[in-house]
């Protein structure tokens, strides 16, 4: 029998919906918060991002499904009033699984994973950074920082920086400048 867990935004609507889901899902699935096969995120995009980070150690074997009760719902698959459809889709094996790409970042403090984006940023003073892609020198950047986004994150902070929206089915990443310095002496990605 398959197992599931629910990660829920802590507002009354999401908590109530989670209880309704458990009642329905417990008829054919087993609730197992430690080792789920399916993680259902009830909330918005922030709850989905939290769900991914909560189960990051099992990311290669867990499927994530989102029900939207929050403010942003780009990462959710179902609306709050479609929860019975979600139950039927899981029961009948009709839910689709899409693979998403994560960014892995290693630094002195450790290794981190991101579903949206990673930023190297200092809003108090300009930075000078040598940028390498696949160990090959790309450019020297001068400015407040850089944002590297996945296709999922291309609609988030990256877009507000003027970056493009990328189809989530692609394996692309995007590099966007944060307040880059551009003049005769310094030319970078933005130029």
Q: How far apart are the first and last CA of the chain?
A: 56
Q: Is 37 a catalytic residue?
A: no
Burial 67-81 (b: 16+ CB within 10 A, else e): bbbbeebebbbbebe
- CA dist 9 → 16, 43, 127 (Å): 11, 5, 37
Q: Extract the tokens encoding 29.
A: 């699935």
**In contact, 5 and 32? CB cutoff 8 Å:** yes
Report the distance separating Cα 19 and Cα 31, nearest Å. 12
* Residue 141: how many other CB atoms lie within 10 Å: 24
Comparing CA positions, the residue from 121, 115, 123 lying closest to residue 152 is 115
Indicate which residue of 45, 57, 77, 81 is catalytic. 45
Give me the active site residues, please. Answer: 45
């Amino acid at each position: 029998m398959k197992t599931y867990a629910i990660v829920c935004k802590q507002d009354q609507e999401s908590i109530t919906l989670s209880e309704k889901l458990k009642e329905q899902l417990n008829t054919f699935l087993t609730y197992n918060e430690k080792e789920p096969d399916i993680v259902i995120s009830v909330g918005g995009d922030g709850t989905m991002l939290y769900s991914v980070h909560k189960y990051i150690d099992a990311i290669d074997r867990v499927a994530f499904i989102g029900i939207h009760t929050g403010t942003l719902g780009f990462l959710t698959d179902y609306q709050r009033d479609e929860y019975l459809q979600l139950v039927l889709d899981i029961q009948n094996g009709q839910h689709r699984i899409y693979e998403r790409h994560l960014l892995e970042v290693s630094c002195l403090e450790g290794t981190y994973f991101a579903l949206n984006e990673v930023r190297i940023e200092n809003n108090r003073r300009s930075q000078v950074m040598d940028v390498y892609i696949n160990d090959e020198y790309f450019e020297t950047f001068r400015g407040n920082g850089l944002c590297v986004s996945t296709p999922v994150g291309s609609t988030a902070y990256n877009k507000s920086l003027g970056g493009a929206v990328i189809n989530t089915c692609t394996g692309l990443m995007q590099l966007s400048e944060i307040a880059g310095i551009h003049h005769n002496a310094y030319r970078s990605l933005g130029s």
